[in-house]
């Protein structure tokens, strides 16, 4: 087969996956990225990143490190790390990141210096341009790492930002990683988080998608140490015209590990939402316990959500379960609220909030962070429902 | 206050008629009881008053303070003072009862062009009302009606009624599922709200409730029609003799 490269692909130097590549079935990057923006210039706008909560902040402006970084002694930063690359078509986002201008930064966290004040990786795109940032975070054995990765963009700017993050939890390390995506409705974002868990590691990931035009967030976890524990939770708020894809791949490679995945999604207007959840349990990985659930609230007939669970299990003594539901707002619930004088819009917002807030609560994020997250959800509901 | 005129109702998109010409007038200050065997249309009547859109009014009218409410949405009816205490209150997962109460109470205030409650004001008001109804305040931090016992749900309905200060209170079998003590608490709650400016429509199977909430009038609903009306002695008669002779008289 000899397909002509698109102009975008000429620029990138490689072919983008079409819907024929199974992992991109719902997100045809070749078709969706015909108009590839140019690389961001180094001296971008001067709109700085505005933090959500108080963090040890490392901020990126159009992919470039900006401002001062004042980090505690337990966090060591190296600013000129090497980006990852790949020629596997399934890693198209990694390849795209490698050929998009942006900084690569490495952090090593030891002790609990980020426990009360997390490491903040704050991004803002100010140009209708392409950027690529790379982070590598290692949480040393027995240490605790708290990271808030957040992506924003100036109003109406059609940026295309990519991020590849690597996270390694050494033996007995614990980490909480937030990915908060609040791009504007014209901006696109392609991201990958690669995780390695060693023995007794405990990781909790929270993904909040509350913006963006084309968004794909991939999370790939290699569970390599016994008794490792993983929770991935997320809320995907898919607005009118938005295409939001969360794709996760969990590889259980050793015995006695747990993973729990829970996503709640809300689709407004003619938004498209996608969740692909792959769980691979290798033959030695006996006693794996992996649970996956994906629940969607469809607010209109025009929107849709595709959920694709995929289990590849080669061990025989495992517990793996998955469930996906798609519902609309319960008329009986609506009637009850309206019969108490609550108007339609407020009643809908209360019910939608109830649906997604449950996942936020499970994070036990602490008062400040929980308020920040529900605040983002509230303002999305205000604008989209 | 309430005039129901020749009301015919069927399930939307179905043929069967459930209410077949109901006529009923309830004056301000009056407590009217509606009794009747299962399936006679009592809950249907209460839902139609509240504006549930599963039901279609094919003939007749409902006037509230002289104006038809048929074209009004449920929230508009509630804002104008109609309250239904549900026979089966909905469980709404994830919505904390306090958040719900605040939204409902502020909606009422907004409808009356009053300022919203401040948080301390709101909490104080709810705490006082909950105390009177013997409701544990901690219960109100939980999701609305989720995991509440039957009696707790009914008391929560009366709590809402007390807090929203409606003009027309429709109580659909509020006594079912209540033990004697809870029945007393709920009835006292209702009696405290009796007011020359407020009307009650109390739907029940049992005379028992009407010993506590003494009605001014009693109406028997059977097969979608009011077949007999009287004073509180009619309820006593039904308690002793069942519905058979009233039904026979109407036939
Ligand atoms: N939503 C509905 N769908 C179908 N039938 C209904 C519905 N609501 C009520 N009915 C029927 O209408 C009749 C009256 O019911 P209801 O109003 O609940 O009576 P009551 O409250 O007096 O026991 C019953 O025959 C019942 O089955
Ligand atoms: Mg009934």
Q: What is the pTM of this model?
A: 0.89
What is the ipTM score, two decimals? 0.96
Indicate whether A93 and A110 sit together in one domain. Answer: yes
Q: Which ligand number lies closest to the CA of residue B37?
A: 1
Same domain, A246 and A350: no
A-interface mutation test, from B96, B107, B170, most A Cβ less than 10 A away: B107
Where is the domain boundary, A312, A328, A344? A328
Our count of domains for chain A comes to 2
A1 is a domain residue:
no
pLDDT tens string A2-12: 578 898 899 99
**Closest partner residue to A339 among B74, B94, B103, by Cβ?**
B74
Q: How far apart (Å, rounded) are the C-alpha atoms in residues B178 and A165? A: 59
Are A25 and A142 within one domain?
Answer: yes
The CATH number of residue B195's host domain is 3.40.50.300
Residues with CB under 6 A from ligand 1: B 11, 18, 36, 38-44, 54
Q: Do B107 and A335 touch (CB under 8 A)?
A: no
Which pLDDT band holds residue B188 (cuts at 50, 70, 90)? very high
Q: By CA distance, what is A348's nearest residue in B?
A: B95
Smallest CA–CA distance, residue A161 to chain B, in Å, is 35
The whole domain housing A63 covers 7-328
**Per-residue pLDDT tens for B160-169?**
999 999 999 9
Tell me which residues of chain A have a pLDDT lower than 50.
none
Question: Domain span at residue B52?
Answer: 2-250
Asked whether the beta carbons of residue B94 and residue A353 sit closer than 8 angstroms, the reply is: yes
Which among B17, B43, B53 is the best mutation to test ligand 1's pocket, defined by most ligand atoms within 8 Å of the CB?
B43
Report the gap between the CA of B166 and the closest CA in chain A (Å).
10
- Whether A121 and A238 map to the same domain: the answer is yes
Ligand 2 centroid to Cα of residue B205, in Å, is: 9
- The pLDDT mean for chain B works out to 93
pLDDT, residue B244, reads: 87
Mutate to test the pocket of ligand 1, among B39, B45, B204 (most ligand atoms within 8 A of CB): B39
Domain boundary among A328, A351, A376: A328
Residues A114 and A17 in one domain: yes
Whole-number pLDDT of residue A3: 76
When divided into structural domains, chain B yields a total of 1
Angstrom distance (rounded) from CA B214 to CA B205 = 14
Cβ separation of B78 and A341 shorter than 8 Å? Answer: yes
The total of other beta-carbon atoms located within 10 Å of residue B137's CB is 12
Min Cα–Cα distance to chain A from B2, Å: 18
Q: Do the chains contact at B107 and A341, CB–CB below 8 Å? A: yes
Residues A374 and A255 in one domain: no
Mapping DSSP to helix (H, G, I), strand (E, B) and coil, where does residue B79 land?
Answer: helix
Distance of CA A92 to the CA centre of its chain: 16
- Does some domain include residue A100? yes
Which of A264, A330, A334, A341 to probe the B interface (max B CBs under 10 A)?
Answer: A341
Does residue A106 share a domain with residue A40? yes
């Amino acid at each position: 087969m000899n397909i002509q490269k698109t102009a975008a692909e000429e620029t990138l130097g490689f072919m983008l996956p079409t819907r024929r590549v199974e992992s991109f079935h719902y997100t045809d990057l070749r078709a969706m990225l015909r108009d590839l923006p140019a690389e961001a210039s180094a001296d971008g706008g001067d709109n700085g990143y505005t933090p959500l909560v108080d963090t040890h902040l490392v901020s990126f402006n159009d992919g470039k490190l900006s401002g001062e970084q004042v980090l505690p002694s337990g966090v060591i930063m190296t600013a000129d790390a090497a980006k990852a690359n790949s020629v596997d078509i399934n890693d198209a986002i990694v390849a795209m990141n490698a050929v998009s201008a942006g900084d690569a930064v490495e952090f090593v966290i030891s002790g609990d210096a980020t426990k009360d004040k997390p490491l903040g990786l704050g991004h803002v795109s100010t140009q209708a341009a392409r950027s690529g940032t790379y982070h590598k975070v290692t949480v040393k054995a027995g240490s605790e790492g708290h990271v808030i990765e957040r992506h924003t963009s100036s109003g109406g700017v059609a940026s295309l930002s990519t991020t590849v993050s690597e996270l390694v939890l050494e033996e007995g390390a614990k980490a909480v990683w937030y990915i908060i995506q609040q791009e504007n409705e014209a901006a696109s974002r392609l991201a990958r988080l690669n995780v390695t868990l060693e023995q007794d590691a405990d990781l909790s990931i929270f993904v909040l998608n509350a913006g963006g035009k084309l968004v794909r967030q991939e999370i790939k976890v290699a569970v390599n140490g016994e008794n490792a524990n993983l929770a991935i939770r997320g809320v995907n708020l898919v607005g009118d015209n938005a295409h939001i894809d969360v794709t996760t791949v969990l590889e259980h490679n050793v015995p006695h590990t747990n993973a729990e995945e829970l996503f709640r999604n809300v689709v407004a207007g003619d938004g498209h939402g996608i969740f692909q959840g792959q769980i691979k349990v290798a033959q030695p990985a006996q006693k794996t316990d992996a649970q996956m659930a994906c629940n969607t609230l469809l607010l209109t007939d025009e929107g849709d959500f595709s959920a694709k669970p995929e289990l590849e299990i080669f061990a025989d003594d495992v517990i793996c379960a998955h469930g996906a539901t798609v519902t609309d707002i319960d008329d009986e619930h609506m009637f009850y609220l309206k019969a108490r004088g609550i108007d339609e819009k407020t009643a809908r917002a209360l019910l939608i909030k109830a649906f997604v807030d449950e996942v936020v609560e499970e994070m036990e994020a602490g008062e400040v962070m929980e308020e920040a997250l529900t605040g983002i959800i509230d303002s999305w509901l205000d604008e989209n429902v | 206050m309430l005039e129901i005129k020749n009301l015919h109702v069927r399930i939307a998109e179905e043929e069967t008629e459930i209410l077949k010409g109901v006529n009923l007038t309830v004056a301000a200050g009056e407590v009217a009881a509606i009794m009747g065997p299962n399936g006679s249309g009592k809950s249907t009547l209460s839902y139609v008053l509240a504006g549930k859109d599963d039901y279609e009014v094919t003939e007749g009218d409902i006037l509230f303070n002289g104006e038809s409410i048929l074209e009004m949405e449920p929230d508009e009816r509630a804002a104008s003072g109609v309250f239904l205490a549900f026979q089966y209150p909905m469980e709404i997962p994830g919505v904390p009862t306090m958040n719900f109460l605040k939204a409902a109470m502020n909606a009422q205030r907004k409808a009356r062009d009053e300022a919203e409650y401040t948080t301390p004001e709101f909490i104080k008001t709810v705490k006082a009302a909950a105390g009177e109804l013997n409701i544990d305040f901690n219960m109100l931090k939980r999701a609305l009606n989720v995991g509440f016992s039957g009696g707790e749900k009914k008391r929560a309905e009366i709590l809402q009624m007390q807090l929203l200060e409606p003009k027309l209170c429709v109580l659909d079998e509020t006594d079912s599922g209540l033990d004697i003590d809870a029945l007393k608490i709920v009835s006292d709650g209702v009696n405290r709200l009796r007011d020359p400016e407020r009307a009650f429509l109390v739907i029940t199977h049992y005379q028992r409730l009407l010993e506590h909430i003494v009605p001014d009038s009693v109406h028997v609903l059977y097969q979608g029609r009011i077949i007999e009306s009287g004073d509180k002695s009619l309820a006593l008669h039904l308690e002793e003799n069942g519905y058979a002779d009233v039904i026979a008289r109407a036939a």
